[in-house]
Amino acid sequence: MKKNTPTLKKGLAQMLKGGVIMDVVNAEQARIAEDAGAVVESVTHFNNPEKLAQISENLGEAMVGIEIDVLEVKLADRGW
C-alpha cells in the first residue's frame, strides 16, 4: 500500500476548508462537534507542536488504532 500522508492531510484540509456546520441539540452532539473542530484545527496546525498540545488538552482518551495489516486488507476490499 502506498503511503502518502502529506497528500492525505492536504486533501482532508481542503475537504474541511471553511468549517463544518452542525445542528447540535444535546450534550453528546456538542462533544462530537467539539472533537470535529479539534480535528480541523489539528490538520491546519500539524507542524506546530505547541498548538497541537493546546488543541488536544481536553479531548480525552486517544482512539484505539487498527493494525496496519488489517487496515490494508480493509482498504484492498474497497479497491484502494
The predicted-structure confidence for 18-72, as pLDDT tens digits, reads as follows 555 566 778 887 777 777 777 778 788 889 899 888 887 877 776 677 788 888 8
C-alpha cell at 7: 497528500
Name 28's Cβ contacts closer than 8 Å, sequence gap at least 6. Answer: none
How open is the CA angle 48-49-54, to the nearest 5 degrees?
A: 100
pTM over 0.75: no
Per-residue pLDDT, 74: 82
